[in-house]
Amino acid sequence: MAEELIDLAGVTRSVLLPDDQELHILRGITLSICSGDHTAIIGRSGCGKSTLLNLLGLLDLPTAGELTFMGVPARQLSGNARARLRGSSVGFVFQQFNLLPGRSALENVVTPLMYATGRDFWKRRELAMDMLDRVGLSHRAGTHPALLSGGEQQRVAIARALVRRPRLILADEPTGALDVDTGQAVMALLDTVATESGAALVTITHDVNVAALARSCYRLDQGVLSALSVPAAATA
């Protein structure tokens, strides 16, 4: 039976505007993600996708409702404990790749392991090299991001997200900066690697074709999350 990784129950996130008005970005979100899931969340710009990503990645806390990460209520965790849990259990893939400039592909993949402890820290270069090999880029390990193509950069970003073997992979518009063919190849790779490692993959996108690759799909509209059937996602 798949283990529940993250559970959102009636989660609301709001911010106070300068004129003391409260802006509700997310309203009553209820979502459960288990290991091995591939979930897509689609929505237009400004609908709250990034805020939901922050919550799922323990970068933020809900204003109301309960967020449980691997059975532990997020509110009970200190900032540093959330950072440690995020480092060990969550991998991020960003739209703009966000590779660190001035560092080679290998050094970028090593970066998350700098926050690890024990064997993962001391064997960081070998682990990073293995992961680059898995995404087919071991021959480009010493190359700097500026000299890599968009697809290669995203594959390095995927290797970096997965190098600490996270339980949850959060992909924020992972194909947004790629052409259609490269985007499909990257999504296929992400899906394969996530499936092989048993991690849950949550893709936040406004691209219905990307969403259609997921096994479950949700639409976020004006802060409200609703389930979609996957075929419906393709036409949403």
Residues that bind other proteins (CB under 8 A): 50, 53-54, 57, 59-60, 79-80, 83-88, 90, 92, 94, 98, 100-103, 107, 111-112, 114-118, 121-122, 160, 164
Q: Which is nearer to other proteins, 121 or 133 (CB)?
A: 121
Q: Considering beta carbons, is residue 68 or 98 the nearer one to other proteins? A: 98
Shortest distance in whole angstroms from residue 26 CB to other proteins: 14
Contacts 24+ apart (CB under 8 A), 55-60: 55/8, 55/11, 55/13, 55/26, 55/29, 56/6, 56/8, 56/90, 56/168, 56/170, 56/202, 57/86, 57/90, 57/92, 57/168, 57/170, 58/82, 58/85, 58/86, 58/90, 59/86, 60/13
- Distance (Å, whole) CA 41 – CA 218: 5
CB of 207 to other proteins, least distance (A): 18
Q: Which is nearer to other proteins, 107 or 152 (CB)?
A: 107
Residue nearer to other proteins on the CB measure, 80 or 226: 80
In angstroms, give the least distance from the CB of 53 to other proteins. Answer: 7
